Structure 1
Amino acid sequence: MSTVVDSVVVGGGLLGSALAWMLARDGADVVLLERDQLNQHASGQNAGSLHFQLEYRMVEHGLEAARQAAEAMPLHLDAADHWARLGDELGESVGVVQNGGLMLAENAEQAAVLERKAELERSWGLDVTLLDGDEVRSIAPYLSESVVAAAFCPLEGKADTRRAGPALARGAKRLGASILTRTKVTAIERDGLLWRVETSSVDADGSSTARSFHAQTVMLAGGVWTSELGAMLDVHLSTIPLALTMSVIAKTPSFIPHLVQHAGTRLSLKQSSDGTVLVGGGWPARLATDADGRPDLSARPHLIQESVAGNALAAMRVVPRLASLPVLRTWVGTTTVTPDQLPLAGEVPGRPGVFVATGGSAFTLGPSFARILTDLAQGRSTAIEMAPYQPLRFGGLAHV
């Protein structure tokens, strides 16, 4: 026997929870399926940065690559607006603080990168101001003398990853959405006018229960499992899974109000509301692999010592006070990118009623992704042109 709903959401991270909430708010009958626990994976393991400037990974390969990455700027601007009012709309705090963000330069070459980057960003409508070393230290006295310039964006900030996703899930549940955890999707197939989603749930006693759902729309919000879900639909959703390193530094009185990035190395740091300092920025870790050498996304990735050390040195060089504080924990989170650094987002061609969003700065863009997919599912137009993010632009066109 199958349960009939309006929409099945696959994935219980920030995006999936936001989708369930927004769809339910529109009156849809929604079921959210999470293979493990809510917020267990990327949404709960990242540092909660709200990056709206182009990140280091988007500018490190030159201006043309940066121009391509900047095609996602409309999504970033939309996300900045959503994050600013998300807690009020939800009726529950998601821990958003937007005190602005700094992207630092420590030499003339990096300062030139900032100039080109800021010009590009301003052409898309992002508010970015260039500061020299003295100007940036006047608003950020915690920075070292090695910083010669910075780009400041007042929209940037952070959200609390421990609160945001679960708060959205609670909001969805209050509106009638059903949430099933420890429930893995095993098949997605067309069945007449609806989609049939087959699942396997692990019960409290360790036994498995098979369930089936029929729905008009299916929302793929599975993060690193996006390509696997696409294969169930006989389409190629091209994503690249990455394992990235993060550390948390012991509590200290508040002294870093900004989100801090770097134009010349992988670095992102911020101080949380409890006084700890979160340090990341894209230093790689090693994904586990199966017997055939393919990434095993269910296994814990491995830290790389050089990444841990490199991340710490980059942080201490620009914020010297961190050198005297102990590191409490270092861990690995996973995320996805695409070959062109732009997200996959929208309806899957040839699979009417199936929608996907992933890639890019997925945590930052989560509320924007959710609003866009909800609008598309409800037959509404979107304010953002979605053609650059077409899910099958790398090939693997659907067989109709």
Structure 2
Amino acid sequence: MVTSDVVVVGGGLLGVSAAYHLASAGASVLLLERDQLGLHASGQNAGSLHFQLEYRMFEHGTAQAEHNARALPLHVDAARAWGELEDRLGTSAGVARTGGLMLAETREQVRALELKAELETGYGLPVELLDGEALRTAAPYLSRRVIAAALCRAEGKADPRRVTHAYALAARRHGAVVRTGASVVGLRRRSGGWRISVADPAGGRPEEITAGQVLIAAGVWTGEVAQLADVRLPVVPVALTMSVTERARPIISHLVQHAGRRLSMKQTAEGNVLIGGGWPSRLIAHDGRVDLSASPRPRLDSIRGNAAAALVAPEVAPLRLLRVWTGTTSLLPDQMPLLGEIPRRPGLYAATGGSAFTLGPTYARLLARLMKGERPDLPVADYGPARFGHLTFA
């Protein structure tokens, strides 16, 4: 029987970065991924590094904004972590931080930006409000309809696949074992530790693995894996749509978001414009049960709406869309991160939700400290699974 100090379930950015931090601290780590590394949310997103509060975090007013602002210490830390990431891992991960703009086209949206910026600067995230000539100088590519913007100079983009595999290589260098095609089908508390059952691809008896600690970092499958340990976590799968245009000359020099609608837009080094920002696609269901392994179906209204939102940069209008794709991400009902040890399950940890790609390196570092029995250098109680403990009766 294989034995490890820690088993990490999930091979996306969060799982491999946690494996890296744990292995570099001296733990024996086994990472189990049901498919291939970075195949799902970590490889399907557009790689935005958005440290400002996203539109979904304040679109319903002040109370929601103040609630979601409690995660801003993680955003501030993540801005630092991404700045150090390539030096830490010793390789390029496509990180480019040219700044991010959140746009306003109405006075109401300007007031939302002002509230958002006040919250962000109060938590230590540097955000500047631009209007008039300062805005035109910083972003001459924007429509004249845009009357103000919030600028965070730390924002930008990264290559999701490169960064995930860079972390995996670094974890392996520190002794972590990474296994793909390893689907977890059992998770039971045994003798002060955990027994993990991994399916045999040939249909035989599952392989049994023991570990002192288990981290569930399985994205949209986090709730399903937790159920194997008789734990209920309300992880909600969300299906999203993204588009990419043909190559063009350099137009957009920032990560662009909007204070009044869903939009996330940036231009790659090759000239393609990536357009997303939370427009929905349709989850696939069979017999009333969502199939999380199936790619969601795109929605024409989302493609059209997302393209229309991108016209805040008028030079994008004539560009042809080359590809539209869909992906899934996970949210919690309160839109906050899920991060920490599960109540009444000693040694069982979970992490997902929030802005999991942007915040992944910070989640991983904090989890490693928690799992080593050290005090985290940021407060994490607001993000812990304990807030959903009432859903688990046993």
**SS of the counterpart of 1:138?**
helix
Unaligned runs of 5+ in 2: none
Superposed displacement of residue 133, structure 1: 4.0
TM-score, with structure 2 as normaliser:
0.97
Per-residue CA shift, 1:246-290, capped at 9, x if unaligned? Answer: 011111222322110000000001112222111000001110112
**SS of the counterpart of 1:315?**
helix
For residue 198 of structure 2, what is the aligned residue in structure 1? Answer: 199
Instruction: Identify the match of residue 276 of structure 1 among 249, 254, 272.
Output: 272
| Deviating 4+ runs (over 4 angstroms) | 206-209, 397-400
Amino acid at match of 1:92: T
Superposed displacement of residue 201, structure 1: 4.3
For residue 306 of structure 1, what is the aligned residue in structure 2? Answer: 301
For residue 287 of structure 1, what is the aligned residue in structure 2? Answer: 283
Q: Are the equivalent residues in 1 in contact too, given 2:216–2:351 (CA < 8 A)? A: yes
Per-residue CA shift, 1:221-243, capped at 9, x if unaligned? Answer: 10000111111111111111100
Cα separation, 1, equivalents of 2:309 and 2:11: 33
For residue 27 of structure 1, what is the aligned residue in structure 2? Answer: 26
For residue 334 of structure 1, what is the aligned residue in structure 2? Answer: 328
Unaligned runs of 5+ in 1: none
For residue 73 of structure 1, what is the aligned residue in structure 2? Answer: 72
Identity %: 54
Amino acid at match of 1:184: S
Cα separation, 2, equivalents of 1:121 and 1:201: 48
Superposed displacement of residue 350, structure 1: 1.1
TM-score, with structure 1 as normaliser:
0.96
Superposed displacement of residue 395, structure 1: 3.9
Q: Are the equivalent residues in 1 in contact too, given 2:255–2:266 (CA < 8 A)? A: yes
Superposed displacement of residue 312, structure 1: 0.3
Instruction: Identify the match of residue 248 of structure 1 among 221, 244, 247.
Output: 244
- Aligned-pair Cα RMSD in Å: 1.3
For residue 342 of structure 2, what is the aligned residue in structure 1? Answer: 348
Superposed displacement of residue 28, structure 1: 1.2
Cα separation, 2, equivalents of 1:52 and 1:100: 10
Correspondences of 1:85-100 after superposition (within 5 Å): 85-100=84-99
For residue 380 of structure 2, what is the aligned residue in structure 1? Answer: 386
Amino acid at match of 2:357: F
Q: How many residues align?
A: 394
Cα separation, 2, equivalents of 1:242 and 1:33: 23
Cα separation, 1, equivalents of 2:390 and 2:226: 10
Q: Are the equivalent residues in 2 in contact too, given 1:13–1:165 (CA < 8 A)? A: yes
Per-residue CA shift, 1:30-49, capped at 9, x if unaligned? Answer: 11100111100000000111
Per-residue CA shift, 1:72-102, capped at 9, x if unaligned? Answer: 0011111111111011111111111111110
For residue 145 of structure 2, what is the aligned residue in structure 1? Answer: 146
Cα separation, 1, equivalents of 2:49 and 2:70: 18
Superposed displacement of residue 50, structure 1: 0.7
Superposed displacement of residue 208, structure 1: 5.8
Q: Are the equivalent residues in 2 in contact too, given 1:350–1:398 (CA < 8 A)? A: no
For residue 62 of structure 2, what is the aligned residue in structure 1? Answer: 63
**SS of the counterpart of 1:150?**
strand
Correspondences of 1:113-192 after superposition (within 5 Å): 113-192=112-191
Is the alpha carbon distance of 1:32 and 1:209 closer, same or farther for their aligned partners in structure 2, counting shifts above 3 Å?
A: farther
Amino acid at match of 1:219: L
